[in-house]
């Protein structure tokens, strides 16, 4: 399956380096020297194809500039080429990597979410739970698990072991243990907005 890794941002400098918006939790591996990334929705004959005729880019190097990853690709040698690639999304084939490497959004989308406190220890969760996973956001410091609650609202849970103690891809469920009030964040503001 094709998994998005990043979106190319602004050029950085005059030699073809670019900034990237990351969608991966493993940027050091994805942007290691020599790694090849596919261009999503590649079209032969496009401006992008002039720079990368094979529909892929090869990492020549990468470095952090504060909290932004700056990448140099072998095929991109000028600021003009870098500008052509702006907003291009890069993907890789997740079937080619070790399954223990990480969890991807497509792995968890739609999984039912249960509160740890409502599932007897040692038993599998039953019923529909409190909602379903609607997304996984990869952030610089920690990932966020997005949950569409049964009441139609969306909750964001930091994807850390303390708050998401179990995610079972075989049995297809997620257990969360949020602190009091985390699932209700924003609820009071919405109610105040509706009253005025």
Q: Quick one: tokens of 52?
A: 């990368």
The verdict on 6 and 77 lying in the same domain is: yes
* Domain boundary pick from 51, 69, 96: 96
Residue 108 has pLDDT above 80, yes or no: yes
The verdict on 74 and 144 lying in the same domain is: no
Q: What burial class does residue 88 get, using C-beta atoms within 10 Å of its C-beta: 0-12 exposed, 13-18 middle, 19+ buried?
A: buried
Would residue 135 count as lying in a domain?
yes
CATH number at residue 53: 2.40.30.60
The verdict on 153 and 123 lying in the same domain is: yes
The verdict on 81 and 9 lying in the same domain is: yes
Residue 1 has pLDDT above 80, yes or no: no
CATH number at residue 144: 2.30.30.240
The verdict on 47 and 70 lying in the same domain is: yes
Alpha carbon separation from 53 to 35, 36, 67, 179 (Å, rounded): 17, 14, 31, 51
Would residue 87 count as lying in a domain?
yes
The verdict on 89 and 124 lying in the same domain is: no
The verdict on 18 and 89 lying in the same domain is: yes
Would residue 196 count as lying in a domain?
no
The verdict on 69 and 139 lying in the same domain is: no
Would residue 184 count as lying in a domain?
no
pLDDT in tens, 79-107: 999 999 999 999 987 665 544 456 777 78
Mean of the pLDDT values across residues 1-7? 82
Q: How many domains does the chain have?
A: 2
Mean of the pLDDT values across residues 106-113? 88
Would residue 47 count as lying in a domain?
yes
- Of 169, 159, 100, the closest CA to residue 135 belongs to 159
Would residue 188 count as lying in a domain?
no
Task: Identify the band that residue 196 occupies on the pLDDT scale cut at 50, 70 and 90.
Answer: very low
DSSP label at 55?
A: S
Would residue 32 count as lying in a domain?
yes
Task: Identify the band that residue 189 occupies on the pLDDT scale cut at 50, 70 and 90.
Answer: very low
Question: Domain range holding 166?
Answer: 105-179
pLDDT in tens, 116-140: 988 888 788 888 899 999 988 876 6
Mean of the pLDDT values across residues 132-159? 86
- Of 155, 152, 131, 130, the closest CA to residue 144 belongs to 155
Quote the pLDDT of residue 60: 95
Residue count of the chain: 196
The verdict on 114 and 175 lying in the same domain is: yes
Cα 58 from Cα 175, distance rounded (Å): 39
The verdict on 111 and 69 lying in the same domain is: no
The verdict on 38 and 123 lying in the same domain is: no
The verdict on 164 and 147 lying in the same domain is: yes
* Domain boundary pick from 78, 96, 114: 96
Mean of the pLDDT values across residues 143-157? 90
Residue 110 has pLDDT above 70, yes or no: yes
Cα 45 from Cα 186, distance rounded (Å): 48
Cα 29 from Cα 62, distance rounded (Å): 11
Residue found under tokens 């261009």 = 39
Would residue 142 count as lying in a domain?
yes
């Amino acid at each position: 399956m094709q998994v998005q890794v990043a979106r190319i941002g602004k050029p950085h400098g005059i030699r073809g380096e670019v900034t990237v918006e990351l969608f991966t939790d493993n940027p050091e591996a994805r942007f290691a020297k020599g790694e090849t990334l596919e261009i999503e929705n590649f079209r032969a004959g496009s401006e992008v194809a002039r720079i990368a005729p094979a529909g892929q880019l090869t990492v020549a190097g990468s470095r952090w500039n504060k909290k932004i990853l700056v990448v140099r690709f072998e095929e991109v040698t000028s600021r003009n080429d870098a500008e052509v690639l702006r907003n291009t999304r890069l993907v890789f084939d997740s079937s080619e990597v070790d399954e223990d490497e990480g969890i991807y959004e497509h792995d968890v989308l739609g999984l039912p979410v249960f509160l740890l406190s409502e599932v007897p220890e040692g038993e599998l969760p039953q019923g529909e739970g409190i909602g379903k996973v609607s997304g996984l956001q990869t952030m610089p410091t920690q990932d966020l698990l997005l949950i569409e609650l049964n009441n139609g609202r969306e909750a964001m849970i930091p994807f850390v072991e303390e708050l998401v103690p179990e995610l079972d891809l075989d049995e297809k469920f997620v257990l969360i243990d949020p602190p009091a009030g985390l699932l209700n964040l924003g609820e009071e503001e919405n109610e105040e907005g509706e009253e005025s």
